[in-house]
Structure 1
Amino acid sequence: MTHPAYTPASLPATRPKTTLPAAGTTGRSRRARSEPMAVRPLRDGRYAVETEGGTYVVALDANACTCPDHRRRRARCKHLRRVALEVTARLVPPPGERTAVCAVCGGRTFVPTAATGPALCDRHALRPGTLVADRETGDRLLVVAATGDRADRVETDEGRLVADYPSNADYGAHEPVFRAVYVDARHRDGEVRTYAFPASRLRRLRHSTAVDGDTDADAGPTPTDTGATPTTA
């Protein structure tokens, strides 16, 4: 279900030169699309643009390029335009972000440059308020927090790691942990407890926004009933 073998090192360091559809464009806009180029993000937030005529460095935020066209004419050259096109198309990360690998599916995603820990793509990232289902039991839950920590590093109230629970054996120990509450459950003393789950154990529901009062049922399952991992928020 998960892909622990995927690491950022598995991503290609360079890309082949490609073109983009150029219909309906003229001038530099057309050349930005029709000429073969390869855009490669650099560690400092700039981009190396490899062309048939040479390699130039683009600073998108500063609207600057090292090519002669930009340096002499201060024009928005084809290299600047190409980088902007590829950022918009999510072919390369925008300034301030880097490429990462989703800890669940192994797909490519972008995260802040300084981000640490496991990454998730838009498909598998869960935000507070998202309605999900437990793949093990089918129960509905409401996500309340993203820990940003791996399942083999997050401890529950019982002093056990989330990854060590038998019910989580089929999910990656490297996956980030989310905290959630059961939509149809509340302890009889009125306290709503949170539970910890590896990311891929939670399936986003089609109607992903919980309605008001969904967590206010009078009673419901306990950790023993569901095999979920109890933890405090």
Structure 2
Amino acid sequence: MNTTASPKTPLPVPSGDRLEERSRRARTEPMSVLPLGDGLYEVESASDHTYLVDLEGGRCTCPDHVFRNARCKHIRRVAIEITEGRTPPPGEIAVPCHDCDVAVFVDEDDSEPCYCEEHTIWPGDTVVDRETGDRLTVVDVSVLRADAVRVDAAGCTVAEYGTNENYEPDVPVVGAIYPHATVARHGVVPESLKVYVFPRTRLEKEP
């Protein structure tokens, strides 16, 4: 999964704080932090050099840490960004939302696509079919992949269905109905209403 770095920029210095020199430079120098997973972070410094930080081990590949055993500005910068919500903590990575490219923090073992809170869909939400422009109401969001769910009437999987050929086969499927149906928060009412199944990436959450 592709990860996303934080913007390369200086950070504000809290007013009234008298920071130790390395802590001050960790804030005032423009740096970006790229979470790699397994508690590792790549830090691009103001000089455009990149260093690997093992946050949980308290290690960095920069000369200040290697030769002086100092808690360098790069280790401090990673810790600051995690505390301020700019960078995900160990066990998570930052990835772009599939629909808007906003960075989303997810478990490093999660699979794509990932969505920000604004574009995550839930049962009861209204979505738009990217192929037809039709509005539908979501009744179920599954963890099953489009290439693993069969459409019995068509004799193929959701991924193989003709109008889905332009969408990723390994994304979850979503069950939805057309808006003339009555939907409760936890499902369709009545149960006999027709539910259509789509690859998640074919549907866009209505603003």
Q: What is the TM-score when the length of structure 2 is the normalising length? A: 0.62
Counterpart-to-counterpart distance in 1, 2:83 and 2:152:
44
1:10-35 deviation digits (Å, cap 9, x = unpaired): x68x8996533447354145322112
Mark the CA change 1:166 to 1:106 in structure 2 (over 3 Å): closer, same or farther: farther
Instruction: Work out whether residues 181 and 194 of structure 1, in 8 Å CA contact, stay in contact via their aligned partners in 2.
Output: yes
Pairing of 1:34-183 with structure 2 (within 5 A): 34-49=28-43, 51=45, 55=51, 57-59=53-55, 64=58, 67=65, 68-70=69-71, 78-87=73-82, 92-100=87-95, 109-116=104-111, 118-122=112-116, 123-135=118-130, 136=132, 138-149=134-145, 151-158=146-153, 159-169=155-165, 171-173=167-169, 175-183=171-179
CA distance in 2 between counterparts of 1:93 and 1:181 reads 36
Instruction: Indicate if the aligned counterparts of 1:58 and 1:79 stay in contact, CA closer than 8 A.
Output: no
Contact 1:152–1:164 under 8 Å retained in 2: yes
Cα distance per residue 1:111-148 (max 9 Å; x no partner) = 322224x3223154323342323342523312422335
Amino acid corresponding to residue 155 of structure 1 in structure 2 = R
Secondary structure in 1 aligned to 2:156?
Answer: coil
Please report how far the alpha carbon of residue 156 of structure 1 lies from its aligned counterpart in structure 2 after TM superposition.
2.1
Partner SS state of residue 151, structure 2: coil
**Cα gap change, 1:143/1:113 in structure 2, threshold over 3 Å: closer, same or farther?**
same
Counterpart pick for 2:10 among 1, 13, 19: 19
Q: Distance in 2 between matches of 1:56 and 1:15?
A: 15
Partners of 1:177 and 1:164 in 2: CA distance: 13
The number of equivalent residue pairs is 187
Q: Distance in 2 between matches of 1:19 and 1:90?
A: 15
Find the aligned partners of 1:27 and 1:189 in 2 and give their Cα distance: 64
Per the alignment, do residues 176 and 88 of structure 1 end up closer, same or farther by CA in structure 2, a change over 3 Å counting?
farther
**Secondary structure of the corresponding residue to residue 159 of structure 2:** helix
Which secondary structure does the structure 2 equivalent of 1:179 belong to? strand
Cα distance in 2 between the residues matched to 1:166 and 1:185: 25
Give the RMSD, CA atoms, in angstroms: 4.2
**1:20 alignment partner, SS class:** coil
Shift of 1:183: 4.1
Which amino acid in structure 1 is aligned with residue 33 of structure 2?
V
| Counterpart-to-counterpart distance in 2, 1:15 and 1:142 | 33
Percentage of pairs with the same residue: 36
Any unmatched runs of 5+ in structure 2?
183-187
Aligned to 2:185: none
SS at match of 2:93: strand
Note the residue ranges of structure 1 that are not aligned, 5 or more in a row: 1-6, 71-76, 207-233
CA 1:111/1:184 → structure 2, altered by over 3 Å: closer, same or farther? same
The residue that corresponds to 1:201 in the other structure is: 202
